[in-house]
Chain A
Amino acid sequence: MARRVTATRLIVSTAAAWVCGFLVFFPILWMVLTSFKTELEAFATPPSFLFFEWTTENYATVQQRSDYFHHAINSIVIAGGSTLIALLIAVPAAWSMAFSPTNRTKDVLLWMLSTKMMPPVGVLVPIYLIYRNFGLLDSRAGLVLILCLGNLPIVIWMLFTYFKEVPKDILEAARMDGATIGRELVYVLTPMVVPGLASTLLLNLILAWNEAFWTLNLSTSQAAPLTVFIASYSSPEGLFWAKLSAASTLAIAPILVLGWFSQRQLVRGLTFGAVK
């Protein structure tokens, strides 16, 4: 479809968009730049933007002083584990609601959604006490469990909207040809739902990786993921900006990359299909 686009308009809107994009992105860029400065330079006024002596010593210090990898592995285990378990529970549920809906399916879905709206702080006290009594405080298993339950409604919803898009006729054709449910699942359904599964997985990894209410309240050191590791920089000792920046860069880099891949699914996942 040809829309008349004048050169001036293109230049103006391009320039404006790039300026806005740069401004929004700037704090992240600034953090990455600071992570390569020495502490003195990070603190200097006027600040140097590009022409400083680039160093990677902060990254080494962060690992030495606070054992970054320990917390990174915790993050991977907690975010990955909770997402995988949630998928295991959610796939059958979403499958059954999408392919053999009953009169109550809509109510069940909306009820699941409403559990996500309960503010976590409303159940902080009982969860904390239960965890304390069962020795789950500061344990990876405890965090996997709570993040899995917390994200389960979103996982089910996302999968449901993807499954809903699979054309019913194909399934009926397969059934006519005598395919059993197992075969139908493996040969017909799976190839069609893999993209939806992948984006559900990505979005929930991101949400779990960045979750900072339960992780801050239920873990301190052993099981602490990166959110808690970064929070330990809130009580500074001496000059620490460059180290804070290096630690932060390490904490967000993997998830930022995943996030950019899954940005188109984000809208769908977080609006429960209300905006397409």
Chain B
Amino acid sequence: MATRHAHSLARTLLAPAVILLFIWMIVPLALTVYFSTLRYNLLDPGSERFIGFENYLYFLTDPAFLASLRNTLVLVGSVLGITILIGVPLALLLDQPVLGRNVVRLMVIAPFFIMPTVSALVWKNLLMHPVSGLFAWISGLFGVTAMDWFNDAPLLAIILIVSWQWLPFATLILLTALQSQDEEQKEAAEMDGARAPSRFIYLTLPHLARPITVVILIETIFLLTVFAEIFVTTGGGPGLQTTNIAFLIYSQALIQFDVGSASAGGLVAVVIANIVAFFLVRIVGRNLEA
């Protein structure tokens, strides 16, 4: 029968992708679990031995872990806050009748296409430099002492750079959602005498609830592992001030070569990401008719 033939063909077509993704998911993760139970340092080869949960104990009680967890949460939370709080009004503005809207849209979306190493270095050197950066010149115009961003407020500097990169994403998704809003409903409300603020609160905001949730979840997945921006600007410092969990694991793995402890940390990062992923997958799944 044709259907059985078609089904086995379908399975054959699907197989390579499923097998590859399965290997990609299982093998490295299993190795991470395995390494995390070993005392294993690349600088001291041949000394590997099983130590159970000691790496977890070491990683989780390390003061660097708490500091980097805090930094990760501050970074994710602040960037989410900034991109949503600026993204919503910006999307509303772009949804208005604007001359040359397409050009404005292009300008707003541009930062998203800039590679992270470029954004971070351009912001650090051209804008935030304490002597010759543009911000220093602007604060000079107002008679304020220029801020030495990467010494005085390094985490804030990183937050601003990452927010600039993700603002376009939030704005574009919210704008797309706004454009699918029911115009007639809005007009009916306007005719009935609803003022702009109440139209926003009772019609637009509920309409945006879902896209805002999606923005928050997707941004969180990516923001939990911000790496390149920290790598090229501060290297996690001064001290631990800009070390997030991703950077901490990197430095344990490829600077201190402590494979065991870095693997334990990696699994902690996987667990944190999975909590967020759980909610995102549920939302996406509800929307999917397969």
Contacts and interface: CB of A to CB of B under 8 A. Distances in A.
Interface in A1-29: 1, 3, 5, 9-10, 13-14, 16-18, 20-22, 24-25, 27-28
Interface in B109-162: 109-119, 121-123, 125-127, 131-132, 134, 136-137, 140
Contacts of A195: none
A228 B228 CA distance: 10
Contacts of A236: 125
Interface stretch (B12-20, B58-66, B198-206): B12-20
Interface in A83-104: 89-90, 92-93, 95-97, 99-102
A117 B166 CA distance: 18
Contacts of A97: 10, 14, 290
Contact of A89 (B16, B114, B132): B16
Given A96-B11, A263-B105, A275-B173, A227 B32 contact: no
A35 to B, nearest CB: 10
Given A27-B164, A275-B214, A121 B122 contact: no
B98 A115 contact: no
Contact of A152 (B21, B35, B227): B21
The B interface is mostly helix, strand or loop, or mixed, namely helix
A92 B14 contact: yes
Contact of A128 (B18, B27, B253): B253
Interface in A160-206: 181, 206
Contacts of A252: 113-115, 118
A105 interface: yes
B288 interface: yes
A125 B35 contact: yes
With a 10 A CB-CB cut-off, give which of A27, A113, A114, A128 has the most chain B CB atoms: A27
Contacts of B78: none
A20 B93 contact: yes
Contacts of A96: 9-11, 13-14
A126 B180 contact: no
B69 to A, nearest CB: 14
B88 interface: no
B20 A89 contact: yes
A39 to B, nearest CB: 11
Contact of A47 (B100, B116, B137, B276): B137
Given A122-B266, A128-B253, A230 B121 contact: yes
Q: How large is the interface on B (under 10, 10 to 19, 20 to 34, 35 or more residues)?
A: 35 or more
Interface in A110-136: 110, 112-115, 117-130
Given A27-B122, A30-B134, A217-B250, A260 B106 contact: yes
Contact of B108 (A21, A124, A129): A21
B214 A274 contact: yes
A272 B31 CA distance: 29
Nearest to B225: A119
B160 to A, nearest CB: 11
B29 interface: yes
Contacts of A24: 107-108, 110-111, 164, 167-168
B274 A213 contact: no
Contacts of B20: 89, 149, 152
B99 A120 contact: no
A276 B176 contact: yes
A139 interface: no
Contacts of A13: 93, 96-98
Interface in B197-225: 210-211, 214, 218, 221, 224-225
Contact of B24 (A10, A100, A115, A241): A115
B73 interface: no
Q: Specify which of B25, B94, B110, B180 lies most central, judged by the most chain A CB atoms within 10 Å of its CB.
A: B110
Given A115-B24, A119-B269, A123-B32, A230 B117 contact: yes
A31 B6 CA distance: 55
Interface of A: 1, 3, 5, 9-10, 13-14, 16-18, 20-22, 24-25, 27-28, 30-31, 34, 43-47, 89-90, 92-93, 95-97, 99-102, 105-106, 108-110, 112-115, 117-130, 149, 152-153, 156, 181, 206, 209-210, 212-213, 216-217, 226-228, 230-231, 233-234, 236, 241, 244-245, 248, 251-252, 255-256, 258-260, 263, 266-267, 270-276
Given A119-B269, A121-B266, 5 more contacts: A102-B10, A115-B21, A129-B31, A263-B172, A267-B176
Q: Which 9 pairs between the two chains have the least Cβ-Cβ distance?
A: A259-B113, A126-B31, A212-B228, A123-B28, A92-B13, A93-B17, A117-B277, A25-B107, A96-B10
